[in-house]
Amino acid sequence: MSLSSGLASKAVEPLPLSELTWYRLGGPPRALFRPRTVRELGEVLAACRAEGMPARVLGRGANVLVPDGGYDGAVIQLSGRGFARVRFDGVRVCAGGAADLPRLIRRAVRRGLAGLEGLGGIPGTVGGAVRMNAGGRFGSIGDVVGRVRVYEEGEGTYWIERDAVGFGYRHTDLAGRIVIGAEFELARDDPRRIRERLLSAWAYKKESQPLAAHSAGCVFRNPPGESAGRLIDGAGLKGLRCGLARVSEQHANFIVADEGAKASDVIELIREVRERVFDQYEVRLELEIDVW
Ligand code: EPU
């Protein structure tokens, strides 16, 4: 379906989503938009709604799997300096939704601001990380968020205080709203000590996870009190393949896409892993990654 001239004038060349995601998989969206201001964002969303076109916001695509057929809707990537701005004010840091999380972490560490260093090694944008409450062994981003700035159609922009965000295990109640920024409340500490903690978080990740391969991080949520990786490993599934997708030998909750893999290979392998884990443990693994 072709775009109306109103929408087309705001769209940029629609790159295949394989170029915009960590998995390096996925076909093109129907349209790609890169709004640079809240006003442009509002215009794009309104135009999509007027045409009945579904829209999704994409950060760095570090936690998503897009099918080979692409996405039959609009993909919106916040862009431009405004959305990526980072402002330090004492122990508070205000960052735009498109700000790069690893870069923000490094800047905070250099300034002797503690609280984000446990997220070392987690890729993505501030918006994406806040939306899903990204985290790991050393804490989640929600632990240091003071409030979140969102855009909601019909409401415009407003702040949500942390207690109303509903931060949980890889969860927030932010669905239906777009995270355009967040304010973090950090604490002063010796920059060398913070740096050491950053390096050890990073080293832990590097040793236990296939960071150099194409993946979207852990595929399944950890069942309460369990580790999905341990279950998959225990079922003997490390190295299991579908086409060119494979269960990582390094961490069984990672499905890596080898050169030439298709999204359908990963999807098939996800199905196979779930089935085999269920057969062995009667545990139904839930997806942690966002499959479009
Ligand atoms: N384990 C195995 N085999 C494996 C993987 C893990 O036996 O193949 C065992 C480990 O030895 C360990 C336990 O399972 O005893 C837990 O493993 P790990 O410390 O690697 O943590 P995880 O629960 O598997 C979680 C997050 C990761 C995060 C790590 C480290 C989830 C689903 N996963 O993994 O998050 O990086 O802790 O902080 O919550 C992600 O969100 O994409 C992600 C990778």
pTM equals 0.95
Residue 137 CB less than 6 A away from ligand 1: yes
pLDDT at 203: 96
pLDDT at 9: 80
pLDDT at 236: 98
Query: Using CA atoms in the order 195, 196, 198, 204, what is the torsion angle rounded to 10 degrees?
Result: 160
CA of 113 to the centre of ligand 1 (A): 27
CA of 277 to the centre of ligand 1 (A): 16
Dist CA 145 CA 143 (whole Å): 6
**For residue 247, what are its two tokens?**
């269960």
CA of 137 to the centre of ligand 1 (A): 8
Choosing from 249, 253, 283 the residue with most ligand 1 atoms within 8 A of its CB, the one to mutate for a pocket test is 253
Residue 120 CB less than 6 A away from ligand 1: no
Give mean pLDDT in consecutive 10-residue pieces for the chain, a chain of 292 residues: 75 93 98 96 95 96 98 97 97 98 98 98 97 96 98 97 98 97 98 97 96 97 97 98 98 98 98 98 98 98
CA of 233 to the centre of ligand 1 (A): 11
pLDDT at 1: 55
What is the chain's Cα-based Rg?
19
Asked if residue 186 lies in contact with residue 92, where contact means CB atoms within 8 angstroms, the answer is yes
Residue 121 CB less than 6 A away from ligand 1: no
Residue 248 CB less than 6 A away from ligand 1: no
pLDDT at 249: 98
**From atom 27 of ligand 1, which residue's Cα is the shortest distance away?**
136
Atom of ligand 1 minimally distant from the CA of 254: 44
pLDDT at 85: 98
